[in-house]
Chain A
Amino acid sequence: MTTPVLDVQGLAFAYPDGHQALFGVDLHVHRGERVAMLGPNGAGKTTLVLHLNGILTGGRGSVSVSGLPVTPANVPEIRRRVGIVFQDPDDQLFMGTVRADVAFGPANLGLRGAELDARVQHALEQVGMAEYADRPPHHLSFGQRRRVAVATVLAMEPEILVLDEPSSNLDPASRRELADILRSLDVTVLMVTHDLPYALELCPRSVVLSGGTIVADGSTYDVLTDDALMSAHRLELPFGFDPRSLPRSS
């Protein structure tokens, strides 16, 4: 068995105000997998995500990324390995131009000059936004900003891409374009989402986080068709959507 890209063991965490968000989470993600993390609001998804790159620490349990434990000494390397795309692109894009924003991460890693330019160019090409490099981010459409946000993280060449609600607020065409981009990337993906059809479309495997623990881990099709599991954890398919009616490709 190879070392998992993401290895979370017994992770528990309580906020300083005493609210406990995670009660012993175990999660393994292997290279090349695309995994959806499903769960109701308040299940602890964001808390878990913030542990993956060491923004939050101090609870029980451990997180390792490709064998490297998340500890204060390792944080710079961990943040290169784990690329988080946050839900609101306006939080993620803070520089004056798209190019400067995509360069922010790799420049923090110490890249300069032609190497940095090449990295930025490649990341923007991967999301189809190269021609917008010199525009200020706030003049782009929401879908374009989401794609640039993905590029800002791709430019760091992460080992795992963590996406928080990647399809939220996107129109159907932008949603599909983003799906095409995500499928084209050769990178491990952990996708936090309420968009269950999107999870089924992109992720062969799903885990369900509810009440601060992982309550299900299996193929996305099996999770979405387990009616008892779904209703127990406030998961609902959109009206008219039935995974059983789709042709099964895998």
Chain B
Amino acid sequence: MGGPHGHSLHFHAHSPLHRAPAHLKILALLGFVLVVVATPREWYWAYAGYLAVIVGVVAVSRVPVGYLLKRMVVEVPFVAFAVLIPFVAHGPRVEVLGLSLSESGLLSAWGLLAKGTLGVLASLTLAATTEAQDLLRGLERLRMPDLLVQIMGFMVRYLEVVTGELQRMRVARASRGFDARNPRHWPVLARSAGALFIRSYERGERVHLAMLSRGYTGRLPRS
């Protein structure tokens, strides 16, 4: 549980950025990411400028830098991929610290890393300063189709229920001698995933029944 407030990415504070309307923040993030992605990789000074903008925004939001850095681990798979590119790409090679690396590969890796990091940092800043409910309302104000907003709302609501269920299944498996490192036990994981899917599906049906019982007609009331 993440305390009385919001989701696990949210950092509770009262900065101007926390108070800003969610739909404006979503638009700003979208615009920022589009500009970053469209910037040619060779314009190094522009990336320095983008980083300065993000750092400035984070400073205003009063979210601790360490808090954001810890959550940037989601980027690790992309970093690993970026590090590999200079070794496998073709074209003229350059010597760096005794390693023969592809020049175009280095440039691609730089582009991927720079754009990825800026995007992740900007998204995390939005997540840290905006409650899930406000994000949904922001998307609603931006005319996102009602059904999509509803689906996202249910995802936010039931994420914890489903992970709790997954956790209980894991404990129950382990209590009966299951060992995830033993490949002979792996088929059990597939069956657990199937069971979780069925349970979630059935819960979905029960939730729908409960909604119908309170007069649901296909639209969530605005509150």
A53 touching B203, Cβ below 8 Å: no
- For the complex, is B212 an interface residue (Cβ under 8 Å from A)? yes
Point out which of B1, B153, B223 has the most chain A C-beta atoms below 10 A from its C-beta.
B223
Taking CB atoms, residues of chain B closer than 8 Å to A88 are 206
| Residues of B95-154 contacting chain A, CB below 8 A | 132-133, 136, 153-154
From known contacts A95-B157, A96-B153, A139-B1, infer whether A107 and B223 are also in contact, taking CB-CB under 8 Å: yes
Whether B81 is near chain A, meaning CB under 8 Å from some CB there, is no
Chain B residues in 8 Å Cβ range of A53: 213
The yes or no answer to A9 lying at the interface (CB within 8 A) is no
The A-B contact count (CB < 8 A) is: 83
Q: Which residue, B1, B136, B207, has most C-beta atoms of chain A within 10 A?
A: B207
User: Which chain B residue lies CB-closest to A88?
Assistant: B206
CB-nearest residue of chain A relative to B160? A138
Q: How many whole Å from A49's CB to the nearest CB in chain B?
A: 10
In this complex, how many residues of chain B approach chain A with their Cβ under 8 Å: the count is: 30
Q: Closest A-chain residue to B222, C-beta based?
A: A107
Interface check B188, CB cutoff 8 A: no
Question: Interface residues of A, CB < 8 Å — how many?
Answer: 34
Q: Which of B192-223 contact A (CB under 8 A)?
A: 203, 206-207, 209-217, 220-223
Segment from A29-37, A97-105, A183-191, A198-206 that makes contact with B:
A97-105
Q: Is B221 a contact of A103 with CB atoms below 8 Å?
A: yes
Chain B residues whose C-beta falls within 8 Å of the C-beta of A152 in the assembled complex: 214
A107-B223, A138-B161 known; A91-B215 Cβ under 8 A: no
Chain A neighbourhood of B223, CB < 8 A: 99-100, 103, 107
Is B64 close to A, CB under 8 A? no
When the two chains form the complex, which single residue of A92, A94, A105, A138 contacts B154, counting CB atoms closer than 8 Å?
A: A94
Structural contact, B161 and A55, CB atoms closer than 8 A: no
Complex: how many Å from CA A135 to CA B1?
A: 13
Q: Are A55 and B214 in contact (CB under 8 A)?
A: no
Contacts of B156 in A (CB 8 A): 96
| Nearest CB of chain A from residue B196's CB, rounded to whole Å | 15
Q: Is the CB of A91 within 8 A of B4?
A: no
In the complex the two chains form, is A90's CB within 8 Å of B215's CB? Answer: no
Q: Is there a chain B Cβ closer than 8 Å to A148's Cβ?
A: no
Query: In the complex, what's the smallest C-beta–C-beta distance from B202 to chain A, in angstroms?
Result: 10
- Contact stretch, chosen from A12-20, A76-84, A166-174: A76-84
Q: Which residues from A are CB-within-8-Å of B210?
A: 84, 86, 91-92, 94
Contacts of B214 in A (CB 8 A): 79, 83, 104-105, 108, 152-153, 156
Within 8 Å CB of B215, what residues of A?
76, 79-80, 105, 108-109, 156
Asked if A96 and B207 make an inter-chain contact with CB atoms under 8 angstroms apart, the answer reads no
Contact B207–A108 (Cβ < 8 Å): no
A50 contacts partner chain B, Cβ-Cβ < 8 Å: yes
Closest B residue, CB atoms, query A117 = B223
A187 to chain B, nearest CB (A): 16
In chain A between 48 and 102, which residues have their CB closer than 8 angstroms to a CB of chain B? 50, 53, 55, 76, 79-80, 82-84, 86, 88, 90-92, 94-97, 99-100
CB distance from A154 to the nearest CB of B (A): 11
Q: Which residues of B contact A137 (CB under 8 A)?
A: 157
A92 to B210, CA, bound (A): 6
Contact of B132 among A55, A96, A107, A108 (CB under 8 A): A96
Interface centre among B6, B158, B160, B221 (most CB of A within 10 A): B221
Q: Could you show 14 A-B contacts with beta carbons less than 8 Å apart? A: A82-B213, A90-B203, A91-B210, A92-B210, A94-B158, A95-B157, A96-B156, A96-B157, A97-B133, A99-B223, A100-B223, A103-B221, A104-B214, A107-B223
**Hey, which bits of chain B sit against chain A, CB under 8 A?**
1, 3-4, 6, 132-133, 136, 153-154, 156-158, 160-161, 203, 206-207, 209-217, 220-223
Name 12 extra pairs, CB < 8 A, besides A55-B209, A55-B213, A139-B4.
A82-B213, A88-B206, A90-B158, A90-B203, A91-B203, A94-B211, A96-B132, A96-B136, A96-B156, A104-B220, A107-B222, A109-B215
